[in-house]
Structure 1
């Protein structure tokens, strides 16, 4: 009885070690020959000019790649290049109250156009737009909540970009 339990625990231990060797927690499926990345600044070309949006988005995207990959940032002949622009930063009413023209909630939407170039695997190159939103109470002014909302939206857009590039989903 005890011998069977020891065999099961030992087998479980070896299977776990084997699986950890096959999978990284970042889910990265980047070719190991890819060593360098360049993430260019994402200028804000939207009609609404939030002063920190470009810097905040670019920095958060760079941090994601620095923290979750082994890629080295470079400006000289990178293996992969990520660039683009913020094309939309807009507030719109949602959840209109019945019998009234007044919105219960407003929605902040951010859209980012991305161009991804992989010099070692050109078949992976793409151009794509990513968009996400966050709702907030219409009693709030956008200027008072935009930093917190922008941070949440940026993180979700960055998750999508990161997954498309690194996880290859």
Structure 2
């Protein structure tokens, strides 16, 4: 019996027998993380699959299952100037992802994904944090999408 795979313009290669996806809310183990970040990230991961595939979102036991945790949410100084002050700060976020493909166990994985973005240190983080989070989430969720169902 041959396995049929559907390809899309988003780079997804999903077997025909895969119909559903479930995403458990990611747990927050990063002490400095924004209080809403766990939910924000979990929703962003759901959104990329809803917008780029024909999979149906289910609460539990999807054909493709995601769970994990936020393990790092850190602000560091970068681009130190001559007077030893930072011209830029960096927000770095790491998520640990456990992906289970119930139709093809060989495709399953558990790995960390990390992305960051720099911002001007003279700007108050709270005034731009939502935008930085969206930028990082877009990158993280695309990385996770590519690793789990990407065909390249």
Task: Answer whether TM exceeds 0.5 for this pair.
Answer: yes
Return 5+ residue gaps in structure 2 as ranges.
1-5
| Map of 2:59 onto structure 1 | 75
Q: Quick one: distance in 1 between partners of 2:77 and 2:41? A: 24
| Map of 1:136 onto structure 2 | 119
Asked if the contact 2:19–2:56 (Cα under 8 Å) also holds between the matched residues in 1, the reply is: yes
More strand by share: 2
| Map of 1:85 onto structure 2 | 69
| Map of 1:155 onto structure 2 | 138
Q: Quick one: distance in 1 between partners of 2:86 and 2:122? A: 9
| Map of 2:15 onto structure 1 | 31
Task: Report deviation, 1:149.
Answer: 0.5
- Displaced runs of 4 or more, over 6 A: none
Task: Report deviation, 1:76.
Answer: 4.5
Structure (1 or 2) with the larger CA radius of gyration? 1
| Map of 1:166 onto structure 2 | 149
Which SS does the other structure have where 2:27 is aligned?
coil
Task: Report deviation, 1:168.
Answer: 3.9
**TM-score scaled by structure 2?**
0.91
CA distances 1:53-111 after superposition (whole Å, capped 9, x unpaired): 1111111111111111111112343211111111111100000012x221110000011
Q: How many residues in Structure 1 have an aligned counterpart in Structure 2?
A: 147
**TM-score scaled by structure 1?**
0.82
Task: Report deviation, 1:119.
Answer: 1.0
More helix by share: 1
Aligned-residue RMSD, C-alpha: 1.4
| Map of 1:117 onto structure 2 | 100
